[in-house]
Structure 1
Amino acid sequence: MIRLSPSEQAVWDMFFVSVTVQVIRQADQRGPEYIAERAAEIADEMLLERRERCVERRSASVDRIRPD
């Protein structure tokens, strides 16, 4: 399990609610367990991608953003 900072938890919660609404619209025939699990999987993936992009930005060379 990934430990989240308070700000990451707020972002995850926002992702989860947004994704859950979308999953409900697409899979309204499914049960609540499926909807919750699928929404959590998608929100986790989104948060991990967000973390990876943040790490990439932090490790980017300063020369990369300097004008030529």
Structure 2
Amino acid sequence: MIRLSPSEQPVWDAFFVSVTTQLIQQANDRGPEYIAERAAEIADEMLLERRERSVERRNAPVDWVGPA
């Protein structure tokens, strides 16, 4: 797992709960260990993507206009 800042923890928790809920519905034949590990992997990937986008926005030129 990745290291989280205090402000990232609630975001990761929300990703994890959302992904876990979806996995339970889609893979109910799998065990709880599989679901928890897979949900954590997906939440980590989502948070890393979010970090990358944040860094890109911070490094973008001032005149860059993007989605609000």
TM-score by length of 2: 0.89
Q: What percent of counterpart residues are identical?
A: 82
**3-state SS of paired residue (1:63):** coil
Unaligned runs of at least 5 residues, structure 1: none
Unaligned runs of at least 5 residues, structure 2: none
Structure 1, residues 23-60: CA drift from partner, whole Å, max 9, x if none?
00000000000000110011000000000000000000
More helix by share: 1
Q: Distance in 2 between matches of 1:29 and 1:35?
A: 10
Structure 2 partner of 1:40 = 40
Instruction: Extract structure 1 runs of 4+ deviating beyond 6 A.
Output: none
1:60 partner letter: A
TM-score by length of 1: 0.89
Rg (Cα) greater in structure: 1
Asked if structure 1 preserves the Cα contact closer than 8 Å seen for 2:2 and 2:44, the reply is no
State yes or no: 1:52 paired with 2:39. no
Aligned residues: CA RMSD: 1.0
